[in-house]
Amino acid sequence: MDIIEGLEDLRHLTQSSLKSENLGALIKQSIDEAEECGADVQMFVCDRGGPNIGAYKKLGVKEENAAWQRYGILIVDGKEVAFKDVITTCNADQNNKLSNTLGRIRLEHLAPHNFQRQNARLAFQLVSHKMKYAMEAAKMAKIQTTETAGKTIWFLGKMNTVSDVCNSSNIFDSNPNKRPFSEKNPECFQIFEEFLVWGPTIQVKDKKTGKLIRIPFFKSIVATVRALLLLYRDMVAKYTSFQLLTTFYNTDSVKTLFSRIRGRGGYNPNPSGRIFLLTMRHMVAVQDLKSAGRGNVAPDNGSYLPAITSDEMDQ
């Protein structure tokens, strides 16, 4: 967890967990101050932690605006999608009954602990086209014989295409689903529009009460898809040639920057604000920060941030 005080994880501003009321006020204050500096804030990204959910509710953010393993059964569009079908396929593949296409699937995918559940890479590998094809092969070989297998295969294929569209990082890609949002790639819009039809229907059955409920994880996916569509439409109205690379609208770049700052000159997991500024200045001065080679914001000039000599800094 990133714990640079006051810069990324607001929870560490206090000794105890930050209350949703205070967090909502800090979020609003941060956006207001950024806009005063001339920034045009279009999106605010966070995870589905308890205080974050509470703060967003108090700010008026709803799903309309912008743990499969735990429950076992998903109800998608009124039909069951079973996680046991995934386990059966993985066991068959590991026992050489299939073509060994799931070599990367291990125990941490099927039974992750609390920290592994936060790893998006594990989830993407579990809901992938390889898993879909392996399950289709298992069904043809009469290994997968459950009534839910067909719907599970359909679900894996659909979620894989949605995750591809949500992780586009190149202007040109052999996979059309991983190309940027633009008028040149209408299939990306079609995938998102179709997801907004069946995505909000995803429910789970509570083990205690037997009632169908919606869990925050799938609500957040629907909210993210809606937000990306709204963001693209707002930006293309201002810049007609705008292309949206969706993978850059997450916190990976910020986390990478903070990771380099923590490791600069020896590992320091919790640098103070003064150390952060000194480290940042040094990284800029020695041209340690390269401008983005690809992204939603093109560099103004050159391939490096401008370097300043010591004499120029004194002046």
DSSP assignment of the chain, as one string?
Answer: ----TTTS-GGGGSSSPPPHHHHHHHHHHHHHHHHHTT-----------HHHHHHHHHTT--TTT--HHHH-EEEETTEEEEHHHHHHHHHHHHTTSS----TT--HHHHS--TTGGG-HHHHHHHSSHHHHHHHHHHHHTTS---TTHHHHHHHHHHHHHHHHHTT---SS-SSGGGSPBSTT-HHHHHHHHHHHHHGGG-EEE-TTT--EE--HHHHHHHHHHHHHHHHHHHHHHH-TT--B-GGGSSSHHHHHHHHHHHHTTS--SS--HHHHHHHHHHHHHTT-SBPPSSSSS--SSSSBPPP--HHHHH-
Q: What is the pLDDT of residues 65-100, one digit of tens each?
A: 545 555 567 888 888 888 888 888 888 888 888 777
- Residue 170: pLDDT above 90? no
- The Cα–Cα gap between 169 and 281 comes to 29
pLDDT band for position 194 (cuts 50, 70, 90)? very high
**Least confident interval from 1-15, 68-82, 154-168:** 1-15
In sequence order, the 6+-apart residues with CB closer than 8 A to the CB of 243 are 171, 180, 181, 182, 184
CB neighbour class for 204 (10 Å; exposed up to 12, middle 13-18, buried from 19): buried
Check if the beta carbon of residue 109 is closer than 8 Å to that of residue 179: no
Nearest residue to 27 (alpha-carbon basis) of 48, 51, 50 = 51
Q: What is the pTM of this model?
A: 0.67
Task: State the chain's mean pLDDT as an integer.
Answer: 76
Mean pLDDT value across residues 150-169 = 90
pLDDT confidence of residue 93: 85
Beta bridge partner(s), residue 79: 76
- The Cα–Cα gap between 120 and 1 comes to 15
- Residue 27: pLDDT above 70? yes
Counting residues of the chain whose pLDDT is more than 70, the rounded percentage is 74
Q: What is the pLDDT of residues 259-314, one digit of tens each?
A: 778 887 777 878 888 888 888 888 878 766 665 555 444 444 434 334 444 454 45
pLDDT confidence of residue 72: 64
In sequence order, the 6+-apart residues with CB closer than 8 A to the CB of 158 are 194, 195, 198
In sequence order, the 6+-apart residues with CB closer than 8 A to the CB of 67 are 117, 215, 217
Q: What is the pLDDT of residues 122-158, one digit of tens each?
A: 777 888 888 899 999 989 988 888 889 999 999 999 9
pLDDT confidence of residue 31: 79
pLDDT confidence of residue 13: 41
**CA dist 166 to 2, 38, 244, Å?**
24, 28, 10
- Residue 197: pLDDT above 80? yes
Report domain extents, the chain: 1-61, 68-247, 251-315
